[in-house]
Amino acid sequence: MRVITGSARGRRLETLSGNDVRPTTDVVKEAVFSIIQFYTEGRCFLDAFAGSGQMGIEALSRGAEKAVFLDSSRRSMSVIKKNISLCGFSDRAETLITDTVSFLSSTGMCFDTVFLDPPYNTGLLEQALAAAPRVMKPGGFIICEHPREEKLPESSGGFRLKKSYRYGKIMISVYTDEKPQND
């Protein structure tokens, strides 16, 4: 697993071994950042259910102002912190060992992009998607990685499903603010 592009391009990242973490493939990661390519630099990115932190690190490498990494596992958070330090992003990263749904339901932070990739088929994606709109900045993106058989709602809290992309057994579903923005 590596950083695809930007200031940390080519850096190899650590991940936990075993079935506890399911890293996003390079193909899917590249697709996600192609979708938000003009909406990453200078913005705030939330890597929820972060695992190894690779999505938030990719955002920082591509110029995001800040990334927040959430994971409930202390082992995962240890790997995330190592990866952030390895890439030199400690000054623009915040790590929190917490339950994502609780965080989304109670934080005062706001984000331009929220990336949701919880363990599959646990119900966590639906819960996180329902809570995510309250932390979004206007014009933001909620991006969900999920198995293709998992159907997501057409809208959530003022965010509408804009498009879904299929990559083998994986789907990327992108939600955008229903209100038009003036950029």
Backbone angles phi, psi at 50, to 5 degrees: -65, -30
Per-residue pLDDT, 179: 67
CA gap 60, 50 in Å, rounded: 14
Q: Per-10-residue mean pLDDT for the chain, 183 residues long? A: 89 80 83 93 97 96 97 95 97 97 96 95 94 96 95 94 94 86 49
The two tokens of residue 1 are 């697993």
- Tokens 């363990």 belong to 119
C-alpha dihedral, 124 to 128 to 130 to 133, nearest 10°: -170
Return the CATH class of domain 27-177. alpha beta
Show the 3-state SS of the chain: CECCCCCCCCCECCCCCCCCCCCCCHHHHHHHHHHCCCCCCCCEEEEECCCCCHHHHHHHHCCCCEEEEEECCHHHHHHHHHHHHHHCCHHHEEEEECCHHHHHHHCCCCEEEEEECCCCCCCHHHHHHHHHHHHEEEEEEEEEEEECCCCCCCEECCEEEEEEEEECCEEEEEEEECCCCCC
Per-residue pLDDT, 183: 45
Per-residue pLDDT, 81: 97
pTM: 0.93
